[in-house]
Structure 1
């Protein structure tokens, strides 16, 4: 495989945090973009999968190019010499954030993220936790200082989502933007509604704090 092709790999971690649909849809989008995905699911993620969806573990794993057991310390993505575009953890539990922040690599998800960070590759964490106490916030600060991007899946209502799928698609489109991956369906803000008309004037006033 050519070096260029080797960099068209993405490591995907799925933890037991609520919102496992983000990880499932991410695998589908990567597949559709022709990007090789290397999946690691935690045991807690498998439990959450049964609670939140009708998917079976095997069906999720089938969406990935390669899958690894959570404790496979000999996996390809556990080494910095294995070239990738980086890693996305979707969803990401606060436990996983804390492990990555401290360099405590208790499993293959935190190990893969640690490897990506030491190789100065992009790591994006879709944190699913609220509200946050001070310990959480300190972990988020530490993981950001280490080079990761904390990207909570916050819906963008300017896109006027019609359903949950629209919200998921927009969030993942913005996440993939961080890797310069264009999915072709992301509705982007152009500023057009701030020009002219009562609606535009009102929106401009809201944005500038006048109302």
Structure 2
């Protein structure tokens, strides 16, 4: 059974009215406002703290529940389905890395074909970093994809010389500075840090504050 166009529009209003009723009850009861923010574990660790700092200054009474998970990763290129909407707030530079003693690390320049026979440490095919690596390396013979679950694992395995990895620069900057990873001379296009929210619930108290803090 599917709703008609009129039913879909009524559903939007019904959700909005239920949200407002809940907000009214919370305000009358003197409860703190709260919003939920989801992010990849890597983003939650590296980028979300500054959002929380801005929120604490702007709306000290707002309680934020942060959920780190592996669902919608916030770095994709395709627009999310309605009623979700999005805003790309800043670039996320990517860097191809390997252990300093790994053979590609000693070359002055690299082309995708030079990585044939290598091992690419990658997450699931739907991972933004995996998709970026697939686009960078293109069709044809290339490195073997080795499943490594998550950015921390890919980084650690790359440090141990188990393969190369395409990772966000913010996640490998300390390792590059410490010399436990080396930047390979193959440039990759940036991804974008994307905020995704329900467009039909923008009037939920605190949501606009979160969007402002995340995009400032």
Query: TM-score if structure 1 supplies the norm length?
Result: 0.25
Higher helix share: 1
TM-score (norm 2): 0.24
Q: Which has the higher contact order (CA 8 A, sep 6+)?
A: 2
Higher strand content, 1 or 2: 2
